[in-house]
C-alpha cells in the first residue's frame, strides 16, 4: 500500500473504536487499580452500589474489547451485559492477584469468543469486519469536512475500506491483537491476559499484523 503509516494507523484506530478518542499510551494507573480494588472489597461485603460503580468505571473497556472481537455493536453490548452478570457471580472468588480490570477483561474476552464461534457470524465478520446496516456508524465519521475536497474524502473512504478488508484477511490471532492494541484502551499486559499469551507474543503479533498490512 502506498499510503503513509500514519494514515493506516488512523484507520486502525477508527476501526477499533466506537467513538473517536485521543490516542495515548495505554497504561493502567495504580490509583485507578487501587480504586477498583477498594470498590471490589465493598462489593464483596454486599455493597451493590459499589458494584454499580465498578460497572460504570469499566463498561467502556469491556464493550470495546467485545467489539474488537465481534465487529458488531449489538453483540458487543450483549457480551458486556453477560460479562458483568458473570463478574457479579464470580466476584467472591476475586483475590486481587491481578488488577481487577485485567481479570474483568479476560472474562469479557472469553465471553466474546464464545459468541464469535457461530460460523455464520464468523464468516460475516471475516468478509467485512463491519456493521452490515451501517446505521450505528460513528456520527463523527459521517460529518462532512468542508476544508477537504470530495476527492480527498473519497480517497480516505477507499483507504478505510481497503484496510478493513485486509484486516479481515489476517489470521485471527494477528487480527485480535492488532485491533485490541489499536483501540488504545489496553496495555500489552491486559491484552496478553485476554488472549492468554505472553506480552512478548502480543508485541510480535501486533508488529507482524502491521507489517502484513503495509
How much is the pLDDT for 182?
A: 79
CA-CA distance, 83 to 155, in Å (whole number)? 39
CA-CA distance, 200 to 204, in Å (whole number)? 6
**Region 20-40 average pLDDT:** 63
What is the percentage of the chain residues whose pLDDT exceeds 70?
65
Determine the distance from the C-alpha atom of residue 16 to the mean position of all C-alpha atoms in its chain, rounded to a whole number. 6
Element (H, E) at 55: helix 48-70
How far is residue 46 from each of residues 51, 64, 184, 211, measured CA to CA in Å?
Answer: 9, 28, 33, 49
- Given a contact cutoff of 8 angstroms between Cβ atoms, the answer to whether 160 and 14 are in contact is yes
Q: Dihedral of CA 81/86/87/88: which sign? A: positive
How much is the pLDDT for 14?
A: 46
For 139-195, write each residue's pLDDT tens digit: 334 444 445 455 554 555 666 677 777 777 888 888 888 888 877 778 888 899 888
How much is the pLDDT for 96?
A: 85
pLDDT over threshold 70, residue 199: yes
Amino acid at each position: 500500500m502506498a499510503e503513509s503509516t500514519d494514515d493506516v494507523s488512523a484507520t486502525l484506530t477508527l476501526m477499533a473504536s466506537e467513538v473517536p478518542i485521543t490516542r495515548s499510551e495505554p497504561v493502567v494507573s495504580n490509583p485507578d487499580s487501587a480504586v477498583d480494588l477498594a470498590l471490589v472489597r465493598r462489593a464483596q461485603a454486599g455493597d451493590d452500589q459499589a458494584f454499580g460503580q465498578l460497572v460504570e468505571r469499566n463498561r467502556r473497556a469491556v464493550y470495546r474489547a467485545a467489539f474488537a472481537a465481534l465487529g458488531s455493536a449489538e453483540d458487543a453490548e450483549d457480551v458486556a451485559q453477560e460479562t458483568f452478570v458473570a463478574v457479579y457471580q464470580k466476584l467472591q472468588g476475586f483475590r486481587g492477584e491481578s488488577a481487577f480490570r485485567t481479570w474483568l477483561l479476560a472474562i469479557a474476552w472469553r465471553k466474546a469468543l464464545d459468541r464469535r464461534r457461530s460460523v455464520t457470524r464468523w464468516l460475516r465478520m471475516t468478509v467485512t469486519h463491519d456493521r452490515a446496516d451501517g446505521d450505528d456508524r460513528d456520527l463523527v465519521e459521517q460529518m462532512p469536512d468542508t476544508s477537504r475536497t470530495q476527492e480527498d474524502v473519497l480517497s480516505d473512504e477507499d483507504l478505510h475500506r481497503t484496510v478493513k478488508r485486509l484486516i479481515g484477511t489476517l489470521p485471527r490471532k494477528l487480527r485480535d491483537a492488532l485491533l485490541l492494541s489499536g483501540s488504545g484502551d489496553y496495555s500489552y499486559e491486559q491484552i496478553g491476559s485476554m488472549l492468554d499469551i505472553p506480552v512478548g507474543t502480543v508485541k510480535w503479533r501486533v508488529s507482524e499484523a502491521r507489517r502484513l498490512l503495509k
